[in-house]
Amino acid sequence: MLMCQEKIGKLWNSSVQHAALGDNSFILLYDGGRYACNDIPARIHERIQQEWSKLSYVALGPDKASYFVRFQDGSASWTVTLRLELSKRIHEVWETSRSNVSVVAFEPNNGYFVLFENGSWQYNGLPDDLFEFLKKDLERIAQIDHKLVSANSEWLVSFKDGKRPRWRCGALPPSASSWLLRLHGGDSVSVRSVALGASGCWLVRSNDKN
């Protein structure tokens, strides 16, 4: 995973708009439709090579096979190994309400969380402490901007509604937790993007720093 981190460091700049981490894999989306990646599933690589300039959102799973990709026109492509229920849910919501997927997070042990643009959501296998946090204020779930759970059940969720807390986390690597708390404003800081990978790898981008 160290090599993966080194590659991200060399490719990172202020034009990165979205980042996704997997199991020793990553994809970075830049302004202007460019992207950079490492060790992503072959099927997703084939799809994005065909429409690389239209990418708008990517989620990678912890099993080197699961992924979700959304394009600027709202179309999407995904492979959800052993997550047939998730695939069916995405189809059902699209057929009934024509609502696109807004946020996807793959969980350990075939779990998942998916938020649709109409505010509806589906989940399976969330970490207990994350589920308890979300359950306290169900109305805010529609305002989730980022939500990630790593293969080690580390998690972070952030909101776009401007209310506090703007983000909450659980079992993050100490270095990630310390970095977040050192930022000016603490839980009032807006998280611009977040990604959690394997072996304690993490990436959090705030509104205060690049």
- What is the predicted pLDDT for the residue at 190? 62
CA separation, residue 167 to residues 115, 132, 174, 204 (Å): 17, 15, 16, 11
- What is the predicted pLDDT for the residue at 11? 93
- What is the predicted pLDDT for the residue at 185? 54
- What is the predicted pLDDT for the residue at 138? 92
- What is the predicted pLDDT for the residue at 90? 80
- What is the predicted pLDDT for the residue at 115? 93
**Strand blocks (E) in 2-143:** 16-21, 26-30, 35-38, 55-60, 67-71, 76-79, 101-106, 112-116, 121-124
Nearest residue to 202 (alpha-carbon basis) of 12, 28, 3, 22: 22
Q: Using an 8 Å Cβ cutoff, are 35 and 55 in contact?
A: yes
Whole-angstrom distance, CA of residue 125 vs CA of residue 118: 22
Q: Are strands 76-79 and 167-170 parallel, antiparallel or unpaired?
A: unpaired
- What is the predicted pLDDT for the residue at 184? 46
- What is the predicted pLDDT for the residue at 27? 93
Q: Give how far the C-alpha of residue 10 lies from the chain's centroid of Cα atoms, to the nearest Å.
A: 21
CA separation, residue 185 to residues 164, 167, 178, 182, 191 (Å): 11, 12, 13, 8, 12
Sheet holding 35-38, edge to edge: 16-21, 26-30, 35-38
Tell me the mean pLDDT per 10 residues along the chain, length 210: 77 90 89 90 83 87 83 81 70 82 84 88 88 91 88 85 85 82 61 75 69
- What is the predicted pLDDT for the residue at 80? 64
